[in-house]
Structure 1
Amino acid sequence: MSGNISFFQFFLGRLPDVLSQTVIHLQITGTAVFIAILVGVPLGILITRSRQLARIVLNGANVLQTIPSLAFFGLMIPLLGIGRPLAVFVLFLYALLPIIKNTYTGIKGVDSSLTEAGRGMGMTNLQLLTMVEVPLALPVMMAGIRIAAVINIGTATIAALIGAQGLGSFIFRGISMGNNNLILTGALPAALLALLVDFLLGRVELLLTPRGMRK
């Protein structure tokens, strides 16, 4: 019991700092995921039109995903220096794969009879995309965005090592000092933040899903 009270008091004593670092954490991950959406969604749609291009893009994104995040940060330092720009860039690359893959999977999963019916009604390719394919693929696309956001919130803790700050700064400071309370001060808010973002994006996914497809 005394340990719980001790951590609670420790956490409350650093609450203003925790809140400011949480805002920084959200800014880094939010910017990275937003840029990944701007790049990944159009790219995921584009590769549905070419099987060869899809193979190249998806394999390339898979390769990026296999590189350990800490190694990626280290490799990019000579090019981008240290700080938040580097953190945003690396997290953007990590967010690309689930967004591209789920966009591609969602569009390719639309029933071909629906697109053929649209063509029979005189729809153009752009109309088919915006009025049939994307609305039906939205649940799968949003699932990719949710995965990217949750992964990035966890990975962003490592960005504290390259001067980007965020909740990871508590974790690494706690490790260097052997202070478990300090580690938990960074780890618990990061975990709760990931759960909250996943929940909120799940609500957005539900709102964007056509009524007939809602569970």
Structure 2
Amino acid sequence: MASNLLLTPIFQHIVLAYTALFLSIALGIPLAILALYSRTLQRIVMTLSNLMQAVPTLAVVAIVVPLIGIGFWPAIVAIILRALLPIIKNTWIGLSSVDPAQIASAEGLGLSEWEIIRYVRLPNAYPAIFAGVKFAAILANSVAILTAMIGSGGLGSLVFEGLAGVNMMKMLSGALPAIGIALFLDASFSWMERRLLPRSGESGLE
């Protein structure tokens, strides 16, 4: 019975944190690619991302409430606002740090801009991208705990109920699974990174 009561918050937490993470990836990587070719967009995206990162997490959660209310989707927005910066910044750094000689060789072979991104820039940027996504995953996991304050549910609700009732067991029943999820995801991303790293230095032009 107790395990069943714990499974629902764990499921809610995973759905909340990693829906937001995947949306952050879907937004962040294309924005970083576009920023690579537009200085104006680069300044706007980087400034806004750095600004959101400078704002304390609790303040981000609090700001979301009067704008879009409480519940699951406002919590998703709050998590995205925190997770976007490492994804955008690391992706942009990885894409823009490619050896100019490789870019020149690709252009000499007649590759289009999209083909250069796909076969040259992205493979070389994998380590930086994975580092950003891994950090964003840890952020999403921790912010998902705090969003229980605005009715998102999940493991954060157990943590805050335990704190309010001075119930250490209840608080730990929320905190320990969240820590376990974070460790599992860190190991998973590290495993995927190791699988891709042997190809990260290959441009696909040989």
TM-score (norm 1): 0.88
One-letter amino acid of the counterpart of residue 133, structure 2:
I
- Contact 1:135-1:210 within 8 A present in 2 as well: no
One-letter amino acid of the counterpart of residue 171, structure 2:
I
Structure 2 counterparts to residues 1-215 of structure 1, below 5 A: 14-211=2-199, 213=201
What runs of 5+ residues in structure 2 fail to find an aligned partner?
Answer: none
RMSD: 1.6
Q: Which runs of 4+ in 1 moved over 6 A?
A: none
Distance in structure 2 (CA, Å) of the matches to 1:211 and 1:53: 30
Distance in structure 2 (CA, Å) of the matches to 1:170 and 1:59: 36
One-letter amino acid of the counterpart of residue 175, structure 1:
L
- When structure 1 is superposed on structure 2, of 67-76 and 85-94 the one drifting more is 67-76
**Secondary structure in structure 1 of the residue aligned to 2:153:** coil
| Pairwise CA distance, 1:80 | 1.8
TM-score (norm 2): 0.92
Distance in structure 1 (CA, Å) of the matches to 2:119 and 2:143: 35
Count of aligned pairs between the two proteins? 202
What runs of 5+ residues in structure 1 fail to find an aligned partner?
Answer: 1-12
One-letter amino acid of the counterpart of residue 29, structure 2:
V
Distance in structure 1 (CA, Å) of the matches to 2:5 and 2:119: 46
Query: Aligned residues: percent identity?
Result: 37
Distance in structure 1 (CA, Å) of the matches to 2:99 and 2:174: 45
